[in-house]
A and B are shown apart, each in its own frame.
Chain A
Amino acid sequence: MRKPSLFTICLVIFIACWIFLRFIVGSVISVPIPNSVIVMYMALILIAILVHISVEDSRLSEFLRPIIETLVDENKRVRRIVLVVLIPLFVLGYTYTNIAQKASPPGDPRDAHPSPPLELTYKDEVLENTENPYRHLKKDDPEEFKSHVENGRKVYYDNCFYCHGDHLDGQGHFANALNPLPANFQDPGIIPNFQESFFFWRISKGGPGLPKEGTPWNSAMPIWEDHLEKDEIWDVILFLSEYTGYSYREVGH
Chain B
Amino acid sequence: MREQTANRVFDTANFIVLLVCTLICLAPFLHIAAISFSSAGPILSGKVSLLPVDFNVEAYTKVFTDASMIRSLGFTVLLTGLFTVLCMLMTIAIGYPLSKKKLKGRKGIMFIVVITMFFSGGIIPEYILVRNLNLLDSIWALVLPGLINPFYLIILITFFNNIPESLEESAEIDGSSHFRTLLSIMLPLSLPVITTLSLFYAVGRWNGFTDTLMYINSPELYPLQLKLYQLIQNNMITDLLQMEGAQMATVVPESLKAASVIFATVPILIVYPWLQRYFVSGVMLGAVKG
Q: Do A and B come from one complex?
A: no
What residues make up the interface of A, taking CB atoms closer than 8 Å to B?
none
Chain B interface (Cβ < 8 Å from any Cβ of A): none
